[in-house]
Amino acid sequence: MTALDTAPAPVRVTSGASWWSSVVRARELGIVLALVALVGCTTVANPRFLSGQSIRDILLGTSILAVLAVGQAVVIITRNIDLSVGAVLGLSAFTVGSLVQDNPGLPVVVALLAGLAVGGVCGLVNAVLVRYGQVPALVVTLGTLYAYRGATYLWAGGQQITADELPRDFLGFADASLLGVPWLVVIAVVVIVAAGVLLRNYRLGRELYAMGSSPEAATLVGIKVGRNTLVAFATSGALAGLAGVLFAVRFGTVDAAAGTGYELNVVAAAVVGGVAVFGGSGTVWGAALGALLLTTIGNSLAVLDIDQFWQQAIVGALILLAIAVDRLVALRTARALKTRALKTRALKKGGSHVD
């Protein structure tokens, strides 16, 4: 038996991958089912929950969180974490807010690019510290969370950018839509699809998963771990910067405290969406669905007249559930692999010992 345990398991990669992807699909299916049940119950209690305005509100609310969650998923998949996203969002929102305040004619596209740039730089700083400082991402981004927020406070002081100081075109972007779909939602969907395809179908994306599954193995097979870490953090930072612009557009009021505490919501969205905190698994679709689920819970509890303390409890329960599912899946995978190894072994043995 001991020999069996230590023997390398000849598992065919293709079958493992398809089995795994079906599990992941099932996980996302779970979120969709939870979402359907939630919307169903709330609609029964209050039919207006499915009105056009309400759906629009949910999607608009989700768009900011989803953009952040996609960036977070990319980082978590590489077995890192980015806790600085709330502060990056704040810095970007204030930078872009000041920028459009001083240049009222600036096209919204430029504002969006500026947000991406600010966030990207913040993300690169995180990456450099993680990669070349050899410090765990948790510690680095906890530090930069305070550093970026501090920088924003230092710059903004008590200043507040209010709706009447922002150009009409900029604020109007929140209401503008493309073929009936609000631009904020379009941007979020583009981000989700682009990141999703990149992670699923491109070499870089697969390398990120490999790094998360086993950093040592990834290095050994020649994956440029350093470069990819930079890419992952820069992506997360840039998306947090983009989310900052969306924040300014949607809420119309920006001060140095914008986005305080968002980082935990974002991590929650990613984890609830099935992105394993130990890296190597999960999808950005899942993270986006997690964001949608959390936002819908918030909206539906407000409609259902449920005490808001419950909201936090429910989010907490969902995180625990997601982690439990994670663990369960991991155990089942391990058992499945072992069983298959046993069978293969037994077959081989059976063959060789025939007299």
Partner 1 sequence: MSRTLTSRAVAAAAAATLAVGLTACGGTTKGSDSGSAPGGTAAAATADPNAALREGLKVAFLPKQLNNPYTDIEVGGGKTALDELKGEYKLVGPNDASASSQVSYINTLIQQQQDVIAVAANDPNAVCPSLNQARAAGIKVVSFDSDAAKDCRDAFVNQATTQGIGDKLVEMTKELAGGSGEIAILSATPNATNQNAWIEVVKTALAKPENAGLKLVKIAYGNDDDQKSFQEAQGLLQSYPNLEVIVSPTTVGIAAAARYVSSSSYKGKVAITGLGTPNAMREYVKNGTATKFALWNPADIGYLAAYAGVALKSGQITGKQGEKFKAGKLGEYTIGADGEIVLGPPTVFDAANIDQFDF
Q: For residues 282 and 25, is the Cβ–Cβ distance under 8 A?
A: no
Phi, psi of 281, rounded to the nearest 5 degrees? -145, 165
Q: Does 20 bind partner 1 (CB under 8 A)?
A: no
HSE-CB for 108 with a 13 A CA cutoff = 18
**Distance between CA atoms of 289 and 318, rounded to whole angstroms?**
13
Q: Does 162 bind partner 1 (CB under 8 A)?
A: yes
Stretch of residues binding partner 1 (CB under 8 A), selected from 123-131, 164-172, 194-202, 205-213: 164-172
What mask, x for binding partner 1 by CB under 8 A, covers residues 230 to 259? -----------------x---xxx-x-xx-
**Shorter beta-carbon distance to partner 1: residue 45 or 197:** 45
**Distance between CA atoms of 337 and 331, rounded to whole angstroms?**
10
Q: For residues 258 and 92, is the Cβ–Cβ distance under 8 A?
A: no
Q: Does 104 bind partner 1 (CB under 8 A)?
A: no
Q: Does 19 bind partner 1 (CB under 8 A)?
A: no
Which DSSP state fits 181? E
**Shorter beta-carbon distance to partner 1: residue 64 or 77:** 64
Which DSSP state fits 261? T
Number of residues that bind partner 1 (CB under 8 A): 37
**Shorter beta-carbon distance to partner 1: residue 155 or 278:** 155
Which DSSP state fits 163? G
Binders of partner 1 in range 278-337 (CB under 8 A)? 298-299, 301-303, 305, 308
Which of these, 295, 313, 317, 288, lies nearest to 42 by C-alpha position? Answer: 295
Stretch of residues binding partner 1 (CB under 8 A), selected from 52-60, 128-136, 230-238, 315-323: 52-60
Other CB atoms closer than 10 Å to residue 182's CB: what's the count? 19
Residues in contact with partner 1 by CB under 8 A are 46, 48-49, 51-54, 57, 61, 64, 153, 157-160, 162-165, 171, 174-175, 247, 251-253, 255, 257-258, 261, 298-299, 301-303, 305, 308
